[in-house]
Amino acid sequence: MRILISNDDGYLAPGLLALADALASIAEVVVVAPEGNRSGASNSLSLDRPLTVQQAANGFYFVNGTPTDCVHMALTAILDYRPDLVVSGINNGQNMGDDTLYSGTVAAATEGYLFGIASIAFSQVAHGWEHIDAAAKLARDIVERGFPQLPSPYLLNVNIPNLPYEKLGAMAATRLGRRHQAEPVVRSRDPRGREIFWIGPPGATRDAGEGTDFYATGCGQVSITPLQVDLTHKVQLALLAQGLR
């Protein structure tokens, strides 16, 4: 098996290093990741400037762009073969519910999916990298499963509690939960006295009931959510068509 690995925390992130080490024991891996932290970059492509690719001493490639740039560059310029799987992560913090729309980790996996390749995004629920080796081992378990029952390509979003491996709960098939709207921006001033703004924290959960990713991870389980890219609102499409008659 040949696996392309990327992330949004940058090519030096502990989660990426742990994931690459874990998967290298079962597959041929190539890492193409951002030069620095690009959390929240979502599915953006850099169209306003040229991109560069460099290679670190450990063999990882790094790009001065977004997670989507990295996977796009890997599949169209760096690799001379088509990988069997695209894996993104392990992210420093959860990517659940509405957060998946903003996530660079999920975006990297989505780009692989759009190229017709099965893709998986991995995140740890809490920031700080605690028990990252356990999360990497769990990620390897999931990759080894292969999910032959799913049509390929598939796109999976996995969130792993920060627990020792032996204390992780069962894997649970989940749907995305929902949040309330985000908190207001935080106003501040720079050293020159100019007003500046920081994006506020995410809102509280609105739908964290049984069956959601929030619920599963809250119970210590590993949440696995299948995602799709089709944004068409099927019900409103039918209503719109009626209104156009």
pLDDT digits (tens, 9 = 90+) for 139-151: 999 999 989 999 9
Answer yes or no: is pLDDT of 205 > 80: no
Q: Tally the residues of the chain.
A: 245
Total domains in the chain come to 1
pLDDT of residue 59: 95
pLDDT digits (tens, 9 = 90+) for 80-107: 999 999 999 899 999 999 889 989 999 9
Buried b (16+ CB within 10 A) or exposed e, 69-101: bbbbbbbeebeeeebebbbbbbbbbbbbbbbbe
pLDDT of residue 53: 96
Work out the pLDDT band at 212, boundaries 50, 70, 90. Answer: very high
Mean pLDDT across the stretch 199-222?
83
**The two structure tokens encoding residue 170:** 């069962």
Residue 187 lies in a domain: no
Look at residue 52 and tell me if it is in a domain.
Answer: yes
Note whether residue 201 is domain-resident.
no
Residues 56 and 41 sit within 8 Å (Cβ to Cβ): no
Domain assignment of residue 226, yes or no: yes
Q: Model confidence at 207, in pLDDT bands (50, 70, 90)?
A: low
Q: What is each CA distance from 163 to 106, 130, 167, in whole angstroms?
A: 22, 8, 6
**Full residue range of the structural domain in which residue 127 is found:** 2-179+206-243
On the question of pLDDT at 123 being above 90, the answer is: yes
What is the per-residue pLDDT for 206?
67
